[in-house]
Homo-oligomer: A and B are copies of this chain.
């Protein structure tokens, strides 16, 4: 089954880019969670287009409408359903040819002539809006347990912000700073903001697009989440990250860089402080044997360049298909990395909440 995720909680998303409404159902939430609508709206705004000059001009008012599961501002414990209107759909803008790098091709393989790919259909990045809603609810619950989730742009194209968050212990001040960066309109460090935006502008100026990477951190009362093997914390989070359209790589801790190291350098040394165990470095990203060790959880995702570019591309059109050179119409983000930051956080929050609730049951 496709668009349902979870074990203790269940997240089901639905909708198409050009339908009347898209939405999400959250099942398995505890009763009594205060639903802070201002926080949720702020989260959705972080993902929404049009609030940044570099992003697509297709304006969307992502106002979540809660249909069930909330009473007097608190969750009731029964399914929480939410819909979001598509106020600005323009399916007449969409093209008939298969857009390279898109799901147009595979949707037709899978669903045949019944595939609905106008504007991306259900494959559209637009469907991450309900995911951000669900993530915002998960964050509210995690915050009650002292857990914070925050991400930032780590690279755009060939420019990388190599801030060291794993070779050292993260102190309170650093965490506060990282949280602040995550909430900026353009969620990158001051030092790299300009350089990242320059990469995007150059891609845009060439009618092209550019990819990037996002680093997400979860800090707080996290020890003991995840299971050996199939239920590993990495398995759970990766299954969510790879649900995000355009994500093609996921690593935990130093990830791929660890593969080039010696064990004497990659192992994080342990020590005791006031009776409690810590590691001196956190190159494993807070996870050993699939289970969190209480250090910050650090993951990175790689996002490919926006598939929609305004340059001519070789592709196919028609039935039977013929070779064509075609140019995609409409406006598109030259780089979706900034808007993907809250989506990566949402996935992280949902994954950790599910693990948290599963773990709580076993105590």
The answer, among B16, B155, B229, for a CB contact under 8 Å with A68, is B16
As a 0/1 sequence over residues 68 to 110 of chain A, the CB contacts with chain B under 8 angstroms (1 = contact) are 1101001111111101000000000000001011110111011
B residues in contact with A265, CB < 8 Å: 305
The answer, among B19, B112, B289, B308, for a CB contact under 8 Å with A107, is B289
B residues in contact with A12, CB < 8 Å: 4, 10, 12, 25, 27, 79
**A contact patch SS:** mixed
Please tell me if A181 contacts chain B, counting CB pairs below 8 Å.
no
CB distance A305 to B261 under 8 Å? Answer: yes
User: Once bound together, how far apart are the Cα atoms of A271 and B252, in whole Å?
Assistant: 37
CB distance A259 to B212 under 8 Å? Answer: yes
The segment from A45-53, A56-64, A172-180, A291-299 that touches chain B is A291-299
The answer, among B3, B114, B251, B252, for a CB contact under 8 Å with A228, is B3
The segment from A36-44, A142-150, A185-193, A231-239 that touches chain B is A231-239
A218 to chain B, nearest CB (A): 15
Please tell me if A201 contacts chain B, counting CB pairs below 8 Å.
no
B residues in contact with A67, CB < 8 Å: 14-15, 19-23, 83
Known contacts A81-B15, A211-B266, A266-B101; A260/B314 CB under 8 A: no
10 A-B pairs with least C-beta separation: A103-B289, A2-B227, A361-B361, A249-B251, A209-B263, A263-B305, A106-B291, A249-B255, A78-B122, A234-B242
25 contacts between A and B (CB under 8 A): A1-B231, A15-B81, A16-B68, A23-B81, A32-B114, A78-B116, A79-B122, A102-B288, A103-B289, A109-B291, A209-B264, A211-B259, A211-B261, A242-B290, A245-B289, A249-B250, A250-B251, A262-B305, A263-B306, A266-B304, A267-B305, A275-B320, A284-B304, A358-B361, A360-B360
